Amino acid sequence: MVRKKTTVKAVNAVSFKIMPQETLGVVGESGCGKSTLARAVLGLYPPNSGEIHYQDQRIDRLSPQQMLPFRKKMQMIFQDPYASLNPRMTVNKILAEPVYFHNKSISAQAAKDKVAEVMRQVGVDPAWAGRYPHEFSGGQRQRISIARALMVDPEFVVADEPVSALDVSIQAQILNLMMEAQEKRGLTYMFITHDLSVVKHISTRVAVMYLGTICELAPTQTLYEQPTHPYTRALLSAIPELGVQKPKHLKLKGEVPTPINLPSGCVFHGRCIYANERCTVEIPRLIEQDSGAYVACHGVEEKRI
Amino acid sequence: MSHLLEVKDLEVNFALWSGELTAIDGISFSLDRGERLGIVGESGAGKSVTGFAIINLISRPGYISGGKILFEDQELNRLPEDEMRAIRGNRISMIFQDPMMTLNPVLTIATQMTETVLAHEDVSKAEAMDIALEKLKKVHIPSPEKRLQQYPHECSGGMRQRIVIAIALLTNPGLIIADEPTTALDVTIQAEIMDLLLELCESEKMGLILITHDLGVVSQITEKIVVMYAGKIVESGSTTSVVQNPQHPYTQGLIKALPGIIPPGSRLNQIPGMMPNLTEIPRGCAFHPRCTISDTICSTDVPALISKEQQGRLVACHMIK
Ligand SMILES: Nc1ncnc2c1ncn2[C@@H]1O[C@H](COP(=O)(O)OP(=O)(O)OP(=O)(O)O)[C@@H](O)[C@H]1O
Ligand code: SF4
Ligand SMILES: [Mg+2]
C-alpha cells in the first residue's frame, strides 16, 4: 500500500501528518483558523511559508494543471449545504459535473449510472436526481454534498463543520454515513468542528487549535482522558454534559484577541492563568510528552503544569 | 399564589395564501417566580414562535389563534399594544442568538443603556449612568467604565451578549426569555454565559425561559423542561428526570442520538426520517412515521399530554403507561 501523508506547517512551525485511513479531528473556537488550515491542506490557499506533501510529493507549489490529479484524490465537504450546492443545477448535474471534469471521455450512460450508484450509497433515492437542491431538506442536502465529494472516488476528504447546521437526529444519520463510507472506501478524513463530543466520537487523533496555532495534538483517548495544554483543559471542561446541573468549567481570564492582532509569545498567554514572563515573549513549540501527546506550552515543558 | 407565567392551550396560526397553517397547536405550561424552564426540540418545532407569542410579538401572517397567556395576573394576549409595550422590555426581556438584534450599532453602550433607564424610570442622567454601571458589573464585564464609552462593534460576541443581558437587567424584569442565546458562541464563552444566567436568576429572583436545541445546555441550568415536536409538547417534567429517564419515544431518540453516550467510533442511534413540514403534519401522533413502537391507534388518534406512571411527568404518547 502507498503510504500517504499530508504535512502542514502551522504557525508554530511544527509539522503534522495525517496517516492513511485515519480521521484527524481539528477542534477550536470560531475564527481560530481551522478552515484556513483545511484549505491550505487541499492546496486551495498557498501557505505563506512551509510545505504540504501528499504521498511524499510536495503540492504547495504546483500549477493548476499539475494539481489536477491531486484534486481528484482530495475532496471537501462544507458546513453549509445550502451555499455549496448550485441552486440552478439539478442534483444529477451537480453530481455528474466532477465526473466529467476528471474524465472527459466518460459516456453519458456511465456518468448517469455512477450518479445513481453514489446517490444510493448516501441514502438519497436516485429517482430524485432530476430535482433541485431547494427541494431537499438540510440533512438530504448534506447527503448530496457528501455524494458529490465521493463521485470521483477520492482518497482524502476534508470535512469542514459538516454537521454543525444539522439537528441532532440528522447529525447522527450523517455521521453514520461518513463512518460507513470511510470503512467501505478506506477514506482518510480531516474533520473540522467546534463540537467536542462529535470530534471525540469519530476521530483517531485530535488537533486543538487556538488563534491559528496548534496547542495540542494527541490520540483521541489520550486527549480526552488527560488533556495537558491549559487551553485544551478549559475547552474540555466547558462541554455541557447531560444531567449535570451546575457547570464546573475552568474559567479563562481576559478576552479572545482578534487574529489580526496576534499576541506575542504564546498566543494563549493573555487568557492563561499559568502564564509567566517567558510565555509573553517566546513562542512555545509542540513537544512530545510521555503520554504520546504533542503540547505547545512553556508551563508544561517547565513541568509547572 | 398564582404562577408568574401561565400559558394555556396556546395556538398560533399562519394565514398563508395557500391556507391556514398551525405552528403551535394547543400548548400549556407554567413558570413560577425565579423558576428556570427549558424549551427544546429540533428546528421548526415551534420554540421561537412560542417565545414570541408570550410577548405578543407574532408578526403577520402569524397570529395567536387560541388560548391565553397570563403573566403577573394580566392576560397578555388581550392587552392593547401600548400596555403590552410597557411590559415588553420591562417586566419581560428577551435575549436573542444575535446580540445585534438588541444593540444599536451607531450608539455607545452608555447611550443605549441610559436611554432604556430614562424611558422606564424617573431619574437624572447621572443616576441612569450609575444604574448602567451597576448592571455591567452584575454581568461581570471587566473595566465597565471603559466599556460604557465603546460601540458594540468594539466588543467580542460573548461580551456583546453580556451587554444585552445587562440591558435586560436595567428594568428588573420578572422574566427573561432567551432564544438560543449562546448558539453562535464558543463553548468556553457559552459556559460563562450560562453560569451568569443561572447566577442572575438566583440573585434577582428572575424567571427564565431558555429556548435551545441543545439538551446539554438546557440540562445545565434549568429545573423544568418542555420537549416540543411539530408544534406540540410531547413531554415535560423536571429537567433531571426527563434527561435521565425520558419516556416519550422522541425524547428518547433525541438523547440516544447524542455522541458521547456510546463508545467512540460505533454507529450513533439515529431517529429515522425527519420532522414533517407544517403543511404535511401526519394524522394522529405527528411522530408516528418515525416511531419504533407505534401501533394502529397512533396514525388515527392524537395522543393527549397527560400524566403517566412516572411521577411529575406529562407525556403525549399512546403506548407509554
Ligand atoms: N412568518 C412565517 N410564515 C410562515 N411560517 C412560519 C413563519 N414563522 C415561523 N413559521 C413556521 O413556524 C414553525 C415554527 O418555527 P420556529 O421558528 O418557532 O421554530 P424553532 O423551533 O424555533 O426552530 P429553530 O430551532 O430552527 O429556531 C416552523 O415550521 C416555521 O416554518
Ligand atoms: S403515540 Fe404512538 S407514534 Fe406517537 S410516540 Fe407514542 S407510540 Fe410513537
Ligand atoms: Mg428558533
Whether pLDDT at B110 is above 60: yes
Chain A residues inside the 8 Å CB shell of B240: 243, 245
Residue A269 lies in a domain: yes
B151 lines ligand 1 (CB under 6 A): no
pLDDT digits (tens, 9 = 90+) for B184-211: 788 888 888 999 999 999 999 999 999 9
pLDDT digits (tens, 9 = 90+) for B129-160: 999 999 999 998 888 999 999 999 988 888 99
One domain for residues A188 and A40: yes
One domain for residues A190 and A210: no
Domain residue limits at A183: 34-194
pLDDT digits (tens, 9 = 90+) for B71-97: 999 999 999 999 998 899 889 999 998
Which of B219, B270, B278, B279 to mutate: most A Cβ within 10 Å?
Answer: B270
B171 lines ligand 1 (CB under 6 A): no
One domain for residues A208 and A92: no
Gap between the Cα atoms of B243 and B235, Å rounded: 11
pLDDT of residue A199: 95
Residue A61 lies in a domain: yes
More confident residue, B17 or A187: A187
- Dihedral, A275, A278, A283, A285 alpha carbons, nearest 10: -90
One domain for residues A134 and A266: no
One domain for residues A47 and A176: yes
pLDDT digits (tens, 9 = 90+) for B43-78: 889 999 999 999 999 988 999 999 999 999 999 999
Q: Reading across the β-sheet that carries B5-16, which strands appear in turn?
A: B19-31, B5-16, B62-71, B74-75
pLDDT of residue A15: 67
Gap between the Cα atoms of B57 and B52, Å rounded: 5
Q: Cβ of A251 under 8 Å from any chain B Cβ?
A: yes
Residue A26 lies in a domain: no
Last residue of a domain, one of A194, A227, A252: A194
pLDDT of residue A140: 87
* B residues 47-86 lying closer than 8 A (beta carbon) to A: none
Q: Which atom of ligand 1 is nearest to the CA of B278?
A: 29
Whether pLDDT at B261 is above 90: no
Pocket test for ligand 1, best of B10, B43, B49 (most atoms within 8 A of CB): B49
Number of domains in chain A: 2
User: Under CATH, what is the fold of the domain B5-91+171-248?
Assistant: Rossmann fold (3.40.50)
Intervals of chain A under pLDDT 50: 1-3, 8-12
Percent of chain B at pLDDT > 90 equals: 78
pLDDT of residue A6: 55
One domain for residues A60 and A188: yes
One domain for residues A1 and A47: no
pLDDT of residue B17: 87
One domain for residues A163 and A262: no
Last residue of a domain, one of A133, A167, A194: A194
Name the minimum distance, in Å, from the CA of A153 to any CA of chain B: 23
Name the residue ranges covered by the structural domains of chain B. 5-91+171-248
B30 membership: H or E segment, kind and range: strand B19-31
Q: Cβ of B143 under 8 Å from any chain A Cβ?
A: no
Whether pLDDT at B2 is above 80: yes
One domain for residues A130 and A221: no
Please name the residue of chain A whose CA is at the shortest distance from the CA of residue B243. Answer: A243
- Dihedral, B71, B137, B181, A190 alpha carbons, nearest 10: -160
Last residue of a domain, one of A176, A194, A212: A194
pLDDT of residue A9: 43
Chain A residues inside the 8 Å CB shell of B139: none
pLDDT of residue B31: 97
Q: What CATH number is attached to the domain comprising A145?
A: 3.40.50.300
Gap between the Cα atoms of B6 and B207, Å rounded: 12
Q: Which three cell numbers stand for residue B53?
A: 407569542
More confident residue, B166 or A166: B166
* pTM beyond 0.95, yes or no: no
The interface predicted TM-score (ipTM) is 0.84
CA-based nearest residue to A192, from A10, A46, A32, A8: A32
One domain for residues A13 and A73: no
Whether pLDDT at B224 is above 90: yes
Q: Which three cell numbers stand for residue A200?
A: 471525540
Q: Which atom of ligand 2 is nearest to the CA of B249?
A: 5
Pocket test for ligand 1, best of B48, B55, B94, B177 (most atoms within 8 A of CB): B48
Please name the residue of chain B whose CA is at the shortest distance from the CA of residue A257. Answer: B156
Closest C-alpha to ligand 2, atom 3: B288
Q: Cβ of A215 under 8 Å from any chain B Cβ?
A: no
Which of A79, A136, A242 to mutate: most B Cβ within 10 Å?
Answer: A242
SS3 call for B211: strand
Q: Report whether A142 contacts A123 (CB < 8 A).
A: no
Closest C-alpha to ligand 1, atom 19: B44
pLDDT band at residue B162 using 50, 70 and 90 as cut-offs: very high
One domain for residues A15 and A156: no
Whether pLDDT at B266 is above 60: yes
3-state secondary structure A179-217: HHHHHHHCCEEEEEECCHHHHHHHCCEEEEEECCEEEEE
Pocket test for ligand 2, best of B271, B300, B317, B320 (most atoms within 8 A of CB): B317
Closest C-alpha to ligand 1, atom 10: B23
pLDDT of residue B183: 83
Q: Give the up-direction half-sphere exposure of residue B57: CA atoms within 13 A in the CB hemisphere.
A: 15
Q: Cβ of A197 under 8 Å from any chain B Cβ?
A: yes
